[in-house]
Amino acid sequence: MEMESKILIVDDIPKNIQMAMNILKNEGYKMFYAKSGEMALKLVNEHNFDLILLDIMMPDMNGFDVCAKLKNDEKTKNIPIIFLSGKDSSSDIEQAYESGGIDYVVKPFITIELITKANSYVRLKQLEDKFASL
């Protein structure tokens, strides 16, 4: 990796943030976290993230609303978003994709699944950025 890749983890439950960070800590990413949608939107204006792991069920602003705001902003619309949820209902999964998410991971995380998906989408984002600058 030319640059250190940045991942933002958004979840209102600190234990979930810690679990995701522990799973991804050996992958070489610089990790940030937000405990609310508002905090996440503030952080994306301060940093260029390569991936956002976004919880669906949060107080104040749910993950679908956060995703929609990010996808409607020119600066953040190309950041891949993987939704995180304790629910695996088809309606939640459909809504995740419809709001702009690129993937969906059910909690509790399967370690290899989260690592593989995170690595794939970060690489994809880096390639897209490289081609966009040509």
Q: What percent of the chain has pLDDT over 70?
A: 98
**In-domain check, residue 30:** yes
Residue type, 41: L
Q: Whole-angstrom Cα distance, residue 26 to residue 85?
A: 23
Give the count of domains, the chain: 1
What's the domain range around 77?
6-132
Cβ contact 122:31 at 8 Å: no
**In-domain check, residue 28:** yes
Helical (H) or strand (E) element with 116: helix 111-132
Q: Judge whether residue 41 has pLDDT over 50.
A: yes
Which tokens hold the place of 15?
Answer: 């234990």
pLDDT tens digits, residue range 16-34?
999 999 999 999 999 999 9
* pLDDT band at residue 1 using 50, 70 and 90 as cut-offs: very low
* pLDDT band at residue 88 using 50, 70 and 90 as cut-offs: confident
**In-domain check, residue 1:** no
Strands 51-55 and 6-10: parallel
Which tokens hold the place of 22?
Answer: 């522990």
Q: What percent of the chain has pLDDT over 90?
A: 90
For residue 34, what is the domain's CATH number?
3.40.50.2300
**In-domain check, residue 109:** yes
